[in-house]
Structure 1
Amino acid sequence: MSYPTYSTHTASVAAQGHRSEVVHEMHQKYGTFVWLAPNHLSISDPDALQVVYAHGNDSLKSDFYDAFVSIHRGLFNTRDRAQHTRKRKIVSHIFSQKNVLDFEPHVRLYIGQLIQVWDRLYDKALKGQSGSEGDGWSGKDGRLWLDALPWCNYLAFDIIGDLAFGSPFGMIAAGKDSASVALSTKDAMQSYGKTDSLQTLHLPAVQILNDRGEYSASMGVLPPWLRPYIQKFHPWYRNGSKAVKSLAGLAVAAVAKRSNNPTERIDLLSRLQAGRDEEGKPMGREELTAEVLTQLIAGSDTTSNSSCAIMYHLAANPAVQAKLQKELDEAPGTDDDPVSSFDQVKRLTYLEAVINEILRIHSTSGIGLPRVVPEGGMTALGKTFPDGTVLSVPSYTIHRDVCVWGADPDVFSPERWFEGDQGEM
């Protein structure tokens, strides 16, 4: 086991989305322990997961999370243990098995819409038609050719928009990345419960979310003292800070619109509004909006990226696609509805293996989420680290650990989930 003298992972690497691969390459070169910064150690061993991220180990999130704060600290980026416990109490019941299953009809509705749109495009493709420049689809050789990622984004945003805000963004129907964004989050906040219309613009929400993610991930690896200066003087960071404000404006506008048009509908927002902490107090407007924004972020690009990755790897591996198609064709269901229910697919073992393999090889978050060692220190893999040290375990790297996944961890192979040590996997 060896250590580099010091390796600097620049903010530009994070901004370009290559941090996971660079950290992985460093672990391959230097071993299990790699210093990412003077006080941040990356540990690429699955056994370290239960130590660094164990519930109740008293470790706290690092200042990396400060770069993700917008409107108000939410469940994801709060660094205060008492506040996290309070928020978790309010939010956790929303994701009980029963509540999640109650959301299923909404999910199936938009999957059905997407299939209908693709069917219409396919009919046009058979006639030799193609979309205009920028539409992202074309007809060629009796086939429909399209970029699946934008459509996966439209699907995820419409679903989470419906569940979180009571109405979809309408991206599937429009075939376009567009959503209402409040011009002024302050004015929108003040409009809660009033009938006057909000001042909004239609902006590309998916692009805003992507820009904000790149900005925050890059800002988070910078020393806190440097962040205000680079945001002020570097044009890329100035543009990123605009994306943060626009994303906040999107959530504020949607929540304000819902607040101005009360409904009896049960969804994520209504459950959050009904939530109470241990003192019986609900969340305030800013906190509520921040938590809804957290759900939007957590449920949109995560789902769209994973869905698109499934399509890509199935297309790249025809044998896997054929095997999965056979299992789906033989599954109980009805030909009247092309969208299967969870009850119909929950016991399909090969489908589960395909999904697990996608989440392994194409994790939505491949970086190691940093934790601060608490007072008294922490021992991991036989080594003790003093309090204040930042530790992380990189998902991208442990998902390619040959000791767990075998000699071919970079190969997409759902079959590996039926082989080897399942407990270790």
Structure 2
Amino acid sequence: MPSNLSAGLEPSTTSLWSPIVLIFVPILTWIVYQRFFHPLAKIPGPFFASLTRLWITKHSWDGDMNTTIISLHKKYGPLVRTGPNELSISDITAIKTIYGAGTQFRKSDWYSVWQGHRKFDLFAERDEKIHGQQRRLVSRAYSMEALKDLEPHVNTAVSTFLSKMSSLKSSTIDMGKWTQLFAFDIIGEITFSQSFGFMEAGADDGSFQAIETALKSAAWIGQVPWLYWLHDSLAPYIGTHLGIAARHGSLRATAAREVSARQTRGSDRNDILSKLLATHTEHPQAFDAQALTSMATSNIFAGSDTTAISTRAIIYHLLKNPSRKARLVAELDAARAAGALSSPVSLAEADRLPYLQAVMYEALRLHPAVGMALPRVSPTSGATIAGRFVPAGTVVGANPWVIHRDAGVFGDDVEAFRPERWVEKAAAESEGGGKGGYGDMQRFFFAFGSGARMCLGRNISWMEMSKLIPTLFMHYDLELEEPEKEWETNCWWFVMQKGLHVRLQERTPVS
């Protein structure tokens, strides 16, 4: 009797255990392999990051990757495992290896989400040879010499900004919003020879939200690009439900409309579009109409946000540090009294103001626009990074927020806003100072990327900030509405800020 009962239970027990074994044995095998036998198993990092990309995807969704990764490097050292096959790097000696000229590290599949179906995309193109060819076609349009021709039209935007500030003086304003309105109008002026009119209206047309939505979407789905491409293949049947589609859809449509309008009305300015049109005429196959629209879209998408973020950072840190603001204002007043400063301040005049330059570098050091790693794929031969061999196919990347906090380069007080570090090290270098001087700080200044992939629009951004910041502080005394309150930030590729509410009081510049 017992024997028959036992025999009768065996099939049921077997059928119960079979699915459990089928599910949990592969999972357990995966965990054991990732933790003990994977080539990256000995590199420390969060437990779940070593097992699944959900860890890095979650932080990309949450918008805290810039601060999270700083903490991880403090805890684990120069190499941190942030994915089953991904590493974050803080060792500055690896920067040249990964990002320098002639590097064999290509951009990772994270960028495929940004590129979509574009054939011409300087930011996202992963083939270094193609990128080099494309960059050579358009680089002259973004050179500092080319942009200097457009400085009078930037002056127009600065004057409009000052006029708006005058109408808002003695009140509390959202300076964060106004810096973005300004930056967007500048893109219109120098790209299409016509402002978007956002400052005059005191509001945008919905583009800001479209850009923010696209950024947040791309930040997380870029960590699982297969999901993006699955969605893309199903889009004809299920519709489009990802914010990144705005970069390829509505924002591109806006750019195409502006290109068409600019061609219709014509312009006597030698704006960026005129140079791109000339390239199109000279190289119609290599730089076709779609490529031209892609470049115009990139100007609109990235040009406004990066400059607005950087401008906010400069203003915020100055207002949080009144003694540094006072030193900048004193430099501006002295230059104005000596007849060396006009209004709006010219780019050449700004370049001759050492403390202003130090303030700009320091603010962008503490708050670079990009707050996530710039991921690259280790070449077929692999590479040695921070004393460890990294096998072929490993995704590696350095985060500007981490690199800018290297005490060996920038000093022990890396969390402090101290523009003087740039002035002191520049002076020491001119007197024969060696390693660890101003040159190293410049070399590892990562706000605009590094090497051949350095941001093409950096000259535009630097010109805007060089003109707006000194002109604004020359004419107005700014104070934070709540000096003790910290602003809010979200890292969705760009580290965007909210809460820059300031009070304006007009001041009489020294004449």
Q: Same fold (TM over 0.5)?
A: yes
Deviation at 1:42, TM superposition (A): 0.8
Q: Per the alignment, in what secondary structure is the counterpart of residue 185 of structure 2?
A: helix
In the superposition, relative to structure 1, how do residues 251 and 12 fare at CA in structure 2: closer, same or farther (>3 Å)?
A: farther
Q: Per the alignment, in what secondary structure is the counterpart of residue 242 of structure 2?
A: helix
Instruction: List gaps (5 residues or longer) in structure 1.
Output: 123-142, 179-203
CA contact (8 A) 2:45 2:82 kept: no
Distance in 2, Cα, partners of 1:144 & 1:93: 43
Q: Per the alignment, in what secondary structure is the counterpart of residue 350 of structure 1?
A: helix
Distance in 2, Cα, partners of 1:227 & 1:281: 27
CA contact (8 A) 2:113 2:228 kept: no
**Equivalent residues in 2 for 1:333-348, closer than 5 Å:** 338-348=343-353
Q: What is the match of residue 69 of structure 1?
A: 115
In the superposition, relative to structure 1, how do residues 115 and 70 fare at CA in structure 2: closer, same or farther (>3 Å)?
A: farther
Is 2:309 the partner of 1:309? no
1:254 to 255, 258, 267: 258
RMSD: 2.7
Instruction: Write out per-residue CA displacement over residues 103-142 of structure 1, whole angstroms, 9 at most, x where no aligned residue.
Output: 21121210111001111222xxxxxxxxxxxxxxxxxxxx
Deviation at 1:241, TM superposition (A): 3.1
1:289 to 287, 293, 317: 293
Distance in 2, Cα, partners of 1:273 & 1:226: 32
Instruction: Write out per-residue CA displacement over residues 15-53 of structure 1, whole angstroms, 9 at most, x where no aligned residue.
Output: 342111112221122111111111111111221111110
In the superposition, relative to structure 1, how do residues 37 and 227 fare at CA in structure 2: closer, same or farther (>3 Å)?
A: farther
Deviation at 1:220, TM superposition (A): 0.9
The structure with the largest alpha-carbon Rg is 2
Instruction: List gaps (5 residues or longer) in structure 2.
Output: 1-42, 426-436, 442-511
Deviation at 1:223, TM superposition (A): 4.3
Q: What is the match of residue 165 of structure 1?
A: 192
Distance in 1, Cα, partners of 2:262 & 2:282: 26
CA contact (8 A) 1:251 1:293 kept: yes
Q: What is the match of residue 210 of structure 2?
A: 208
2:164 to 107, 113, 117: 117
In the superposition, relative to structure 1, how do residues 99 and 319 fare at CA in structure 2: closer, same or farther (>3 Å)?
A: same
**Equivalent residues in 2 for 1:211-290, closer than 5 Å:** 211-225=213-227, 228-229=230-231, 238-242=242-246, 244-275=248-279, 281=285, 283-290=287-294
Is 2:375 the partner of 1:370? yes
Distance in 2, Cα, partners of 1:34 & 1:399: 17
Q: What is the match of residue 403 of structure 2?
A: 398
1:176 to 179, 203, 222: 203
CA contact (8 A) 1:61 1:371 kept: yes
Is 2:60 the partner of 1:56? no
Distance in 2, Cα, partners of 1:226 & 1:289: 23
Is 2:435 the partner of 1:414? no
2:326 to 319, 322, 326: 322
Q: Per the alignment, in what secondary structure is the counterpart of residue 77 of structure 1?
A: coil
Instruction: Write out per-residue CA displacement over residues 251-299 of structure 1, whole angstroms, 9 at most, x where no aligned residue.
Output: 1221122233333431111111112699775511111100111122332
Deviation at 1:410, TM superposition (A): 1.4
Instruction: Write out per-residue CA displacement over residues 159-178 of structure 1, whole angstroms, 9 at most, x where no aligned residue.
Output: 01121222111001110112
Distance in 2, Cα, partners of 1:157 & 1:11: 30
Distance in 2, Cα, partners of 1:389 & 1:411: 34
In the superposition, relative to structure 1, how do residues 282 and 238 fare at CA in structure 2: closer, same or farther (>3 Å)?
A: closer
Deviation at 1:231, TM superposition (A): 10
In the superposition, relative to structure 1, how do residues 231 and 334 fare at CA in structure 2: closer, same or farther (>3 Å)?
A: farther
* Bigger mean CA offset, 29-38 vs 16-25: 16-25
- Percent identity among equivalent residues? 33
The letter for the 2-side match of 1:261 is R
The letter for the 2-side match of 1:205 is S
Instruction: Write out per-residue CA displacement over residues 154-202 of structure 1, whole angstroms, 9 at most, x where no aligned residue.
Output: 1000001121222111001110112xxxxxxxxxxxxxxxxxxxxxxxx
CA contact (8 A) 1:369 1:393 kept: yes
In the superposition, relative to structure 1, how do residues 81 and 2 fare at CA in structure 2: closer, same or farther (>3 Å)?
A: closer
2:175 to 126, 148, 156: 148
Distance in 2, Cα, partners of 1:2 & 1:275: 49
Q: Per the alignment, in what secondary structure is the counterpart of residue 440 of structure 2?
A: coil
Q: What is the match of residue 485 of structure 2?
A: none
Is 2:55 the partner of 1:9? yes
* Bigger mean CA offset, 367-376 vs 4-13: 4-13
In the superposition, relative to structure 1, how do residues 218 and 86 fare at CA in structure 2: closer, same or farther (>3 Å)?
A: same
With normalisation by structure 2, the TM-score equals 0.69
Distance in 2, Cα, partners of 1:400 & 1:231: 42
Deviation at 1:418, TM superposition (A): 3.0
CA contact (8 A) 1:211 1:243 kept: no
The letter for the 1-side match of 2:208 is V
Deviation at 1:95, TM superposition (A): 2.5
Instruction: Write out per-residue CA displacement over residues 79-111 of structure 1, whole angstroms, 9 at most, x where no aligned residue.
Output: 122321221111111233321211211212101
Distance in 2, Cα, partners of 1:226 & 1:272: 31
Q: What is the match of residue 181 of structure 1?
A: none
* Bigger mean CA offset, 50-59 vs 318-327: 50-59
Q: Per the alignment, in what secondary structure is the counterpart of residue 384 of structure 1?
A: strand
In the superposition, relative to structure 1, how do residues 150 and 166 fare at CA in structure 2: closer, same or farther (>3 Å)?
A: same
The letter for the 2-side match of 1:272 is L
Instruction: Write out per-residue CA displacement over residues 364-410 of structure 1, whole angstroms, 9 at most, x where no aligned residue.
Output: 01222011112222222332322211110111111112222233211
